[in-house]
Amino acid sequence: MAYNLLKGKRGIIFGALDENSIAWKVAQRAHEEGAVFTLTNAPIAMRMGEINKLAEACGAVVIPADATSIEELENLFDKSMEILGGKIDFILHSIGMSPNIRKGKEYGDMNYDWFLKTLDVSALSFHKIMHVAEKKDAMNEYGSILALSYIAAQRVFPDYTDMADAKSTLESIARGYGARFAKLKKVRVNTISQSPTKTTAGKGISGFGAFYDFADLMSPLGNASADECAGYSIVLFSDLTRKVTMQNLMHDGGFSSTGMTPEIMQLFEDRTNS
Ligand SMILES: NC(=O)c1ccc[n+]([C@@H]2O[C@H](COP(=O)([O-])OP(=O)(O)OC[C@H]3O[C@@H](n4cnc5c(N)ncnc54)[C@H](O)[C@@H]3O)[C@@H](O)[C@H]2O)c1
């Protein structure tokens, strides 16, 4: 069901790789809610060609940009404002990648060049996007900028390694730039801390199935899906959340406030009694 929450709003959506991507679902919902937007991803991710299907369905133009390149981001903002016919109201940063995780490096055995790459792609890119938006005066007043995070920013989980450090940095950047952008243009900046979700990035973490099932049993409402994350993102882009800023917002079915659930207790009772 659509509510026209984004009618007349212009946006830029980063990170739709395939139909499982959280950004893909956000784009579909933003389109349903009346927004116009450009879609972007790293040029290398375009090779799959999937994003063109989404663009066609949403009437969006695709503009390649490596989110770590200031030059490519400048081109993206220039072209987006030209194509959309004005300044930007919302931005979704749905980007994450760790070469150390990809190559199975343990936390005690990091390749530091790759560690820097993880931080650049997964966290600093958020700062760079806002830096370019500010420099180009590209945001409308009361615009909304959002990135996706994970609870490993606050708590330790196996095998999330340097992505945990990237997520902590990402959330810190949301506070730092949120304070700045609030004063400059009344723009709000937040992160959503999302449940484990079955996407390319999610499934890249070793033991992801166990992460997913554990979180599901530890969340009174169960894991939040990518579709539900899209719904929450739309609310944060809308005018209904104008004073929400500099927050890391948990979207996790209650996981982050739960000590134990009856389902997990049952598992251990079964184990104790066996
Ligand atoms: N899947 C999960 O379990 C989960 C949970 C919490 C948070 N998140 C976060 O959600 C966000 C989206 O991930 P997803 O799960 O939809 O997976 P995904 O793999 O579909 O999306 C990740 C995207 O990052 C893009 N990307 C990588 N390097 C880039 C670069 N240099 N420039 C521009 N784009 C680049 C990829 O091309 C891809 O589209 C990420 O920040 C991720 O950490 C995911």
The one catalytic residue among 3, 150, 212, 232: 150
The residue assigned the tokens 């917002």 is 249
Q: Which atom of ligand 1 is nearest to the CA of 147?
A: 41
Q: How far is the CA of 273 from the centre of ligand 1 (A)?
A: 42
Q: What confidence tens digit (pLDDT) does each residue in 108-124 have?
A: 999 999 999 999 999 99
The pLDDT of residue 17: 94
Is the distance from CB of 167 to CB of 98 less than 8 angstroms?
no
What's the rounded mean pLDDT across residues 173-201?
97
Three-state secondary structure call for residue 62: strand
Q: What confidence tens digit (pLDDT) does each residue in 46-59 have?
A: 887 799 999 999 99
DSSP H/E element including 249:
strand 248-251
Ligand 1 binding pocket (C-beta < 6 A) is 14-15, 17, 21-23, 41-42, 45, 66-68, 94-97, 121, 148-150, 194, 196-197, 199-202
Which two three-digit tokens encode residue 241? 């959340």
Question: What secondary structure letter does DSSP report for 252?
Answer: S
Question: Is residue 107 annotated as part of the catalytic site, yes or no?
Answer: no
User: Which domains, and CATH codes, for the chain?
Assistant: 10-273 (3.40.50.720)
Q: Whose CA is nearest to atom 1 of ligand 1?
A: 202
Q: What confidence tens digit (pLDDT) does each residue in 66-76 have?
A: 999 999 999 99
Q: How far is the CA of 78 from the centre of ligand 1 (A)?
A: 24
